Chains A and B, each alone.
Chain A
Amino acid sequence: MSTKMPVNLTINGETFNVEVEPRWLLSDVIRHQVGLIGTHVGCEQGVCGACTVLIDGKPERSCLIFAVQAQGHQITTVEGLTQNKPDLTPLQQAFQNHHALQCGYCTPGMLLTATALLETEPHPNEHRIREALSGNVCRCTGYQFIVDAILEVAGDSKEASR
């Protein structure tokens, strides 16, 4: 049995003091210790991208990081996108408008990956978007409507970007 140690995690601008075992994954701690269940786990093999969070603004797989390693970094989960406001962000709204989610399990990861993309590159074309999403698996949508949603926010018409 490993012993627990305290860590301070900064998630969505708030600080959480939690006791964790060194082997606990960041994904598990975010979900079960902190209680932010919007971060999903689809493989714990670093492949599916469902567990994507932003660490210092960059998309990372929280199933590949131990919680203790995340101390001192800014973590953003899907719950942090709306910043405690009731309205959806333009990206979330675009996802709804374009039917970019079905079961919704991949959606938090998709939103965070897309948020980071639009942050560094506000007007990506379809090709760039597909490349950026290529580490996030969606089993339901076939990606097309996700791409359309991101294109809408990128301010690019579908035709122009092809």
Chain B
Amino acid sequence: MTEQAMRPQFMGARVKRVEDPRLLTGQARFLDDIDVPGMLEVAFVRSPYPAARIMGIDTKAAKAAPGVRAVIAFEDCPVVLWQKDAYEVGQPVLAHGEVRYVGEPVVAIVAENRYVAEDAAELVTVHYEPLEPVLDMYRSIAENPRRVHENASNVFFYKKYTTKGFDEAFPAAAHHLQETFRTTRQTAVTLEPRGTAAMPDPASGRMTVYASTQSPHRIRGDLAELLGWPENQIRVIVPEVGGGFGMKANTYPEDVVVVWAAHQLRKPVKWVSDRTESLLTDVHARDDIHEVEVAFEDDGRIIAIKDHLMADGGAYPAYPFSGAVGETSLASRVLPGPYQIPYIETEIHCTYSNKTPLGAYRGVWGPIASFVQEGIVDRVARAVGRDPAEVRRINMIRPDQFPFRNAAGMVYDPGSYGESMEEALGLIGYDTFRTRQTELRKEGIYRGIGISVFVEPTAMASSEAGSVGYESVFIRVEPTGKVTAAFGLGPTGQGHETTMAQLIADQVGVNVEDVVILHGDTDSAPFGGGTGGSRSGPIGGGAALVAGREMRQRLVKLAAHLLEAAEEDIELGNGQAWVAGVPDRAMTIQQLAEIAYTHVKRIPAGMPIGLELVARYQPERSVSFSNGTHVAEVDVDIRTGMVQVLNYVVVNDCGRLINPLIVEGQIYGGVAQGIGSAFLESLRYDEDGQLTTTSLMDYLLPEATDVPRMMTKHLVTPSAGEGGIKGMGEGSLIGAPAALVNAVSDALEPFGVMVNRLPVTAEDIRQWILA
């Protein structure tokens, strides 16, 4: 029996997605497609100032406008998004007395439709008295020009860590270098904007909330807590979600206002963000500075890293977690990456400013830390005059060192660090690259290659998304023998209806198309953490395996009893149970299920009626590390500063694969986002604190012509967890920016250029070449 369970049929196969037909034919329902008669729509009046006192709000004209049903200010809906154990301040869902970033919601208009609501929003007059905005991280640390929140220090998170022996080792090394790495604000830009709809159910008195979220149970809990309602009075349903990337893991002010308005008006109410609102108010990410000093030896061995990490958390901690803390605290612990760097010292300052709150964007800390870590290695290589690949080999953690405790105390489970790099270098033809590069330079072509070896902590018991460390599955074999399983996950395009079905089908012995996966409805799904932090595969998938196995054991017991055989002799597969070696002595799972539900007298003593159970899975290890190597080859046009990505290779190790097609999709998508992170995407504030990139004409996303054809290869170092699965949703975006900007540095080596910022623009490159 165990042997057969270990012979997976669907796990590891390139199974086509069951989600696709509805999405391909335009039948899928996203949030804005939720529509019921009488549904009202909301528009928000938002702050035009980064910092100002509110001297008065005049809503008379708006209230009188035809079609307007309600005009709501903080006094009406006095809810504050405040995680009191972690932060000293919280964000009022509608500004209270003061605005602290451009785009902050101040007044909500509820009207017959969005057009009417927007017209009425223009009729609201808010009297502001502008204040000097806090915009610079260094100045904010020194409480300059002032405090963002009168009663709280601008520094809302501080931490220092030093490896024992650092103080002696650092000065003793032969060489030292310094660099300041800077990342500019970026954001997820899900193609489907955020949105929420709420419908009171007059019959039951409960509230149904449609939410475009990654974490259905979390948002239900948040709403219950913030509005003071019992949790079971709220049902959260997550429709199709058009991308999340961490950004939809938060509970936002608008969510609360919409639900509150529906409750007050006893009417269905909906709000969907437009793109300008999205760029202004979806959580931002990647606003970090790393001041780094490195100690190393003649041969390129890195002895110690000292890093002062700063992150601008924006005006308020995003609810319920600040991205600034997520970006810095984990970065400080995984900064040595795949290298055996023995000593580290990190100091973290997270500060408030008059900018949009910082939250999660795919990879959170990872793209920043990899960019710093791989930037360090390349600088050391250049300083000692050795090949960047060679310096990586010298520093790489060896296979015999696992489990490896890094300088910050993080324990890595086994991975294929060196192997992934060698494979990737082989695929891109690194051997011959340097000769080609020299030849091309003679012709005035500046080609470079960038290497990024990354580690990706996945399946964390507690992720920055604040989710629980386990996942749950409710599984039922229906009386017809078909299987239904419900999860608390919140997929946003990852294909869980397919991957979870694959895992369960193998265990229960049915075909994958006989399994229906439910998710995103808190009335049907068992409590779960949701999707984020690359946890759905290893933890959700682990729960699917456990639930499937427990169901399998039930079926085997029942079949053994009915077929009069020993349990060890029962095999399951293809919708059948049979006695090993005697295929004639068989029953279909449908027959078993019929008996389990209807002819219950035939069930063996002690076995429960029916075929339903709930299983939970929490991995024993608090984290499992995926790893891999990205190598990028680029051309830099030194006249225009334009970068073209020519070749791209990814060697990825996320343990056992559930579905390689889906894994590759995640990789390609993450690399494209990495191209955006490295060269295109930037949320820019001017010196007055206005966000100047409020359309997709200013905030540039990678298009099909910006992305090269990529090559991937999988390596498999199983985790110790269920199924040997590791997470992999973020690794591609963790690895990519570093590979890309290092390739630019390599191309521009004759000019002494070392890229120290994300993104690096054509303008930056031109200036460096001129300098």
Give the B-binding residues of A (Cβ under 8 A): 1, 21, 23-24, 31-32, 36-45, 47-48, 50, 77-79, 81-82, 88, 92, 95-97, 99, 101-108, 111, 126, 129-131, 133-147, 162
A50 and B25 form a contact (CB under 8 A): no
Q: How far is the CA of A81 from the CA of B170 in the complex (A)?
A: 66
Judged by a CB distance under 8 angstroms, whether B493 is at the interface is yes
Q: Enumerate chain A residues within 8 angstroms of B189, measured Cβ to Cβ.
A: 139
Q: Enumerate chain A residues within 8 angstroms of B709, measured Cβ to Cβ.
A: 126, 144, 147, 162
A92 and B25 form a contact (CB under 8 A): yes
Q: How far is the CA of A36 from the CA of B696 in the complex (A)?
A: 25
Nearest B residue to A95 by beta-carbon distance? B24
Using known A-B contacts A142-B671, A144-B710, determine if residue A92 contacts B24 with beta carbons closer than 8 Å: yes
Centre residue among A81, A95, A143 by max chain B CB count within 10 A: A143
Contact for A137 among B21, B26, B661, B703, CB less than 8 A: B703
Q: How far is the CA of A37 from the CA of B661 in the complex (A)?
A: 28
B16 and A97 form a contact (CB under 8 A): yes
B26 and A101 form a contact (CB under 8 A): no
Q: Enumerate chain A residues within 8 angstroms of B670, measured Cβ to Cβ.
A: 142
A43 and B695 form a contact (CB under 8 A): yes
Nearest B residue to A36 by beta-carbon distance? B26
Judged by a CB distance under 8 angstroms, whether B32 is at the interface is yes
B672 and A103 form a contact (CB under 8 A): no
Q: Enumerate chain B residues within 8 angstroms of A106, measured Cβ to Cβ.
A: 191
Q: How far is the CA of A146 from the CA of B665 in the complex (A)?
A: 10
Q: Enumerate chain A residues within 8 angstroms of B274, measured Cβ to Cβ.
A: 44
Contact for B191 among A131, A135, A139, CB less than 8 A: A139
Using known A-B contacts A47-B696, A142-B670, A144-B709, determine if residue A37 contacts B21 with beta carbons closer than 8 Å: no
Judged by a CB distance under 8 angstroms, whether B45 is at the interface is no
Using known A-B contacts A21-B115, A104-B19, A142-B670, determine if residue A40 contacts B242 with beta carbons closer than 8 Å: yes
Q: Knowing that A134-B704, A139-B189 are A-B contacts, what are 7 other residue pairs whose CB atoms are under 8 Å apart, sorted by A's residue number?
A: A42-B193, A45-B696, A48-B275, A96-B20, A104-B240, A142-B673, A142-B710
Contact for A143 among B21, B115, B495, B672, CB less than 8 A: B672
B646 CB, nearest partner CB in chain A, Å: 12
A104 and B21 form a contact (CB under 8 A): no
Using known A-B contacts A40-B192, A139-B673, determine if residue A23 contacts B115 with beta carbons closer than 8 Å: yes
Using known A-B contacts A45-B695, A95-B24, determine if residue A103 contacts B241 with beta carbons closer than 8 Å: yes
Could you name 21 residue pairs across A and B whose Cβ atoms are closer than 8 Å?
A36-B26, A37-B33, A43-B695, A44-B275, A48-B191, A78-B24, A92-B21, A96-B17, A96-B20, A96-B24, A99-B664, A103-B190, A103-B241, A103-B242, A104-B23, A105-B192, A108-B26, A137-B191, A137-B701, A142-B669, A143-B707
A99 and B662 form a contact (CB under 8 A): yes
B585 CB, nearest partner CB in chain A, Å: 39
1/0 per residue B684-700: CB within 8 Å of A?
00000000000111000
Contact for B704 among A107, A111, A143, CB less than 8 A: A143
Using known A-B contacts A88-B24, A138-B191, determine if residue A102 contacts B16 with beta carbons closer than 8 Å: no
Contact for B30 among A32, A40, A126, CB less than 8 A: A40
B345 CB, nearest partner CB in chain A, Å: 37
A118 CB, nearest partner CB in chain B, Å: 15
A156 CB, nearest partner CB in chain B, Å: 14
A107 and B23 form a contact (CB under 8 A): yes
Q: How far is the CA of A79 from the CA of B672 in the complex (A)?
A: 29
Q: Enumerate chain A residues within 8 angstroms of B29, measured Cβ to Cβ.
A: 37
B492 and A103 form a contact (CB under 8 A): yes
Nearest B residue to A98 by beta-carbon distance? B661
Judged by a CB distance under 8 angstroms, whether B2 is at the interface is no
Q: Enumerate chain B residues within 8 angstroms of A92, measured Cβ to Cβ.
A: 21, 24-25
Using known A-B contacts A47-B696, A82-B25, A105-B242, determine if residue A145 contacts B665 with beta carbons closer than 8 Å: yes
Nearest B residue to A145 by beta-carbon distance? B665
Nearest A residue to B188 by beta-carbon distance? A139
Q: Enumerate chain A residues within 8 angstroms of B190, measured Cβ to Cβ.
A: 103, 105, 139
Top 7 closest pairs, chain A to chain B, by CB = A38-B26, A104-B23, A103-B493, A105-B242, A142-B668, A102-B493, A142-B672
Nearest A residue to B272 by beta-carbon distance? A41
Judged by a CB distance under 8 angstroms, whether B432 is at the interface is no
Judged by a CB distance under 8 angstroms, whether B27 is at the interface is yes
A24 and B26 form a contact (CB under 8 A): no
A56 CB, nearest partner CB in chain B, Å: 20
Q: Enumerate chain B residues within 8 angstroms of A147, measured Cβ to Cβ.
A: 704, 709
B696 CB, nearest partner CB in chain A, Å: 4
B707 and A42 form a contact (CB under 8 A): no
